[in-house]
Structure 1
Amino acid sequence: MTTSISVICYKYKTLSNGENPLMVRISQNGKRKLVSLGISVNHKFWNFEKQKPKPNCPNKEQIEILITNKLNEFNNQIIEFKSENKDFTAKTLIEKVSKPVKRMNVNDLFLQEIAQLKKEERIRYAECHDYVYKSLLKFNKHLDIYFSDIDVQWLKKYEAWLRSQGNSENTIGFKFRTLRAMYNIAIKEGYVKAEFYPFKEYKVSKLHEDTPKRAIVKDNVKKIVSTSANNAYKELAIDLFTFSYFTGGINFTDMARIKHDNIIDGRLAYKRKKTKKLIQLPLQPKAMGIINKYKSPSNPYIFPILSTFHKTEQQKINRIHKVIGKVNKHLKALGVELDLDKKLTTYVARHSFSTTLKRSGVSTSLICEALGHSSEKITQIYLDSFENDQIDEAMSNLL
């Protein structure tokens, strides 16, 4: 397939100013297509034999520069198509050249994404993006740069700076994963060409540090579950830990948001706030007992964390943040009281759930040992992809 590009003076059309338009002519497989160059000249100043302006043509040098630049655009795009082994037509070639990469700098795209996340009430994600945005701003002094400016060397400098600021390995990894996600958005929206993508060479996966195992053995779970509380908050902390352990390691945010409507035919069915994945679990007697304990006709939520007072997403987030701090404070004290070798938090229940099932011989593919560690997607999939009786049987091993 041969393609030739040239600029001609289209003498068959005369504009209102008496001049003829200059056109880019694309010849491919015996077919021709014309697209306007955006300027015109009087035909008496055009050399039709050589298809270029005559020496006496007004603005001759500027016209020649414009012609050269436009021919280069088309020829460079042809080279790009060929380097990627992509077939193209005259029409697709014109479309590609006529619709260049849109310009949006890093600063504006970050602010746009943060605003969109807030609009979707994904407040925690918005806060995370804002956290990374401020880090980048502090490092680079300004973000009036384009994504094509972020190359491998720039990323290495940012990594070195983060280390100099005392950031942990996992914190650095989080910031780079967020930046990589923003770069992918920029590519998708046409703000930067994929060929500039620096993360093929710069591997974010290296920025990971294994954290200490948070799971506790089944005997210690029994100690927690059977502990008597001497105050209401300690009792709530124990009940929330127990409920999480018996309901697939449900995290605190989702636990706070579940309502009585989520209890269907003796099962808990809810969508995770973080991933929107639907999870359905059998309710063990211990979990059902806790539900009945906190049941209140005046509150649609199962636990006394949220109520009808909390209407906006920000109100809910603030309340959950406040309560989880108090709950974890009591769990930490309980861990010391029981002489446990782990710092006790609600998240320990999540890890203990998966580890206990694994040690009981339950298939790793069913429970996914990481359970939110290496891949949040796997955490959700393991409950979605198996039949209810498989899940029911597996969870019978919890105590």
Structure 2
Amino acid sequence: MATIAIVLINKPRKDGRWPIKIRIFHRRKLSYQTLCYINPANWNISGQVNLYEPGYLTLNEKIRERRCQIEEILEAFEAEGKGFSGPEILQINYSSWKASRQPVLPKADPASTSFLKHAEFLIHLKNRNQNLASAKRYTSYLHTLRQYLHTLQQTDLELMEVTDEFLIDFFRWCRTKTDQPNNENTLHRRFGWMAWVVRDALADGLISKLPFRRFKTKPIKVPKVKLRQDQIQQLEQLAMSTHKRPLARSLKTYLLQFHLYGSRISDVLTLRNHNVTEEGSRVEFVQRKTKKLMSIRLNEKARALISEFHCPERPDAFLIPWLKWEHDPSETVEENEYRLLIEIENKTTMANKYLKDASQLLDFEKPISTHSARHSFAQMAKRKKVDIYALKQALGHSSIKQTETYLNDLDTDEVDQAMNGVYD
């Protein structure tokens, strides 16, 4: 099994800048490829170029992209049982290699102005790009739209029929349907999907103008559940004292999320033993949602949690032995990924059930879910005055604006404290 790392090499050039290299360790041999040169003082402990290096965002993106490319190539070679060496992998032109493996994508029918057909085409593209979570969600939206059209005794919908009047009637039906009425936030996401389909058709020249202009939806902001430090400690104590194995595992998964910089449940569940590096002091992985490389230094509590599960003798096995999934070489990449997605969703639902039980047992004000670990980490980091650029990297956000928006949604406690004494 080959392993990959991004390393700073102590071999300065005449200008004093050191090389950042991608390193492959395979069959007890090391292979390197230089990615860029930086001032060594600007290489931070998280394994990324910090903001004092000119063009640091571009450099980090270049490093992340190349790592993802090498990981994808290695995964393909190992899954297919092909022999390789580190230098051979590093010499592969990724674009040419990817093009040789990627089937030709179907083109949208230039003569079709059907909303349903164009939506199906875009969902197909999402599947091909392995954005399976979005594809699954959009397929559900399309199914609901077909149900509504059935009530109108229609089997198709033209793009130019998606007017303000149609959207008003459709959303009224979604809000009041008896089997599963939609709340305002679901309606907002559904409209965003329909608008995306129509705007894409407009860009492709299938229509000459947008059929809707005035219809808008607004999401309702729901207070995000986040825990205090003392409540995190209560969860830690319960995880150690409970004799219920599923509850203990759910709590420890939640705590790992919290200590791994508020990582998403999908990333923690899919960690492999080989993602634990540097003798158990660091975890490195690529986020499933954003494809960003994360390199996290483990604190004492995180190391203790991981040590319960870590099995270096089985580098490719899941760190937390919870997911019942194995790669099937007889299936396509999309089929394997879809099975993994379903398994992640099932285990997330199970974890949320036990976290709700823990919330009631500990008399928390509101029930927690796996995602509240992310909110809790962000809130505590904000209170500790963590630099927003560092927090952006820790959360894996793509922009500072995204981090600012995320933090603004957690501001209720700060407002309460600031208003203390106003009416005294």
Q: TM-score, normalised by structure 1?
A: 0.62
CA deviation vs aligned residue, 1:334-390 (integer Å, no higher than 9, x gap): 11111111202211111111111122233456547xx79xxx75589759xxxxxxx
Among 176, 194, 198, the alignment partner of 1:179 is 194
Distance change >3 Å, CA 381–CA 168, structure 1 → 2: closer
CA deviation vs aligned residue, 1:198-225 (integer Å, no higher than 9, x gap): 3x54334x2x011132111111111112
Q: Map 1:1-399 to 2 at 5 A.
A: 102-141=111-150, 142=154, 144-165=156-177, 166-193=181-208, 195-196=209-210, 198=212, 201-204=214-217, 206=218, 208-227=219-238, 228-265=241-278, 266-296=281-311, 297-298=313-314, 299-306=316-323, 309-311=326-328, 312-363=336-387, 367=391, 377-378=398-399
Paired with 1:115 and 1:122, the residues of 2 have a C-alpha distance of 10
Gaps of 5+ in 1: 1-99, 384-399
1:346 alignment partner, SS class:
coil
Paired with 1:307 and 1:158, the residues of 2 have a C-alpha distance of 40
Shift of 1:189: 2.6
Paired with 2:233 and 2:274, the residues of 1 have a C-alpha distance of 29
1:269 alignment partner, SS class:
strand
Aligned residue identity for 2:124: A
Paired with 2:298 and 2:402, the residues of 1 have a C-alpha distance of 19
Paired with 1:272 and 1:160, the residues of 2 have a C-alpha distance of 37
1:352 alignment partner, SS class:
helix
CA deviation vs aligned residue, 1:240-263 (integer Å, no higher than 9, x gap): 111100112111111111223333
1:202 alignment partner, SS class:
coil
Identity of aligned residues (%): 20
Give the number of equivalent residue pairs: 275
Shift of 1:174: 1.3
Paired with 1:279 and 1:197, the residues of 2 have a C-alpha distance of 43
Q: TM-score, normalised by structure 2?
A: 0.58
CA deviation vs aligned residue, 1:141-195 (integer Å, no higher than 9, x gap): 34523222212222222222222223201110111111122223222332222x3
Paired with 2:249 and 2:156, the residues of 1 have a C-alpha distance of 49
- Compute the RMSD of aligned alpha carbons: 2.9
Does the 8 Å contact 1:305/1:319 carry over to 2? Answer: no
Paired with 1:290 and 1:268, the residues of 2 have a C-alpha distance of 12
1:280 alignment partner, SS class:
strand
Paired with 2:182 and 2:129, the residues of 1 have a C-alpha distance of 30
Structure number with higher relative contact order (C-alpha < 8 Å, ≥ 6 residues apart): 2
2:113 alignment partner, SS class:
coil
Paired with 1:196 and 1:125, the residues of 2 have a C-alpha distance of 24
Paired with 1:285 and 1:352, the residues of 2 have a C-alpha distance of 18
Paired with 2:167 and 2:137, the residues of 1 have a C-alpha distance of 19
Does the 8 Å contact 2:388/2:403 carry over to 1? Answer: no
CA deviation vs aligned residue, 1:55-100 (integer Å, no higher than 9, x gap): xxxxxxxxxxxxxxxxxxxxxxxxxxxxxxxxxxxxxxxxxxxxx9
Distance change >3 Å, CA 160–CA 248, structure 1 → 2: same
Aligned residue identity for 1:196: L
Paired with 1:381 and 1:167, the residues of 2 have a C-alpha distance of 26
Paired with 1:155 and 1:107, the residues of 2 have a C-alpha distance of 15
